[in-house]
Structure 1
């Protein structure tokens, strides 16, 4: 009997609490964003402008303070990339990367210098197709091992 009285006293408070939670949800749920399901066979990620399944630099979802090389604003072209021609953007990206490394399956360690040193060590002349190909190879290697 005592438990029944205790339940009867708490029931109105529980009903009021549930009502307030429902009102709050109904008020703030529309602010949560688009909840429509993605189209079949397509990567649909907020901020992924070209719909390739990745948020790349210069897309709406890119945050320069937390993504990539964390360099925001106008990029200064390093000396290693001054005459890179059409590959300047890729050269700047590679040159601004930090040193990195990985351990192979056999236990051997590979450590590479920062991007500027890697660009400086390329044997190809900036502005040539071979230079652009070498930059693409450095970029692919970094993406494979980051």
Structure 2
């Protein structure tokens, strides 16, 4: 009687199953990392206009970061006063000509100072019926006793900002 030929495929050995599983695990991990947010920005140019980073790149790299167009000090980011800086779309979006004279020496509080100074006059009626009227923001900043650039000046600006947010009419 003839013998049946052996089945052409044998059962897999445990080491082959382990090797296949390890390969799937490694390739899956590499695929997940490659598709994550850790992808270098050179492959995904930024489009957010409120950030101070750039939207275009040269083909060079510095310390693993893309070399930005207009990045004069070549640190990977366009900073204020570099050739690629646009004060209308980057950073606090306050340009030199847009800063009122009351806020010129405000230091780090220049954005808050510009915000307070740009507000219109407003007022409110207290629960007891008395009326409070405030001048426009330029006058309020000018009338502050604190010197611009000091912590007290910043605290006074925060207080004016909080008062406006609490009492100004909602648009």
Using structure 1 for the length normalisation, give the TM-score. 0.50
Comparing both chains, which one has the higher relative contact order based on Cα–Cα distances under 8 Å and sequence gaps of 6 or more? 1
Higher-Rg structure is 2
Using structure 2 for the length normalisation, give the TM-score. 0.43
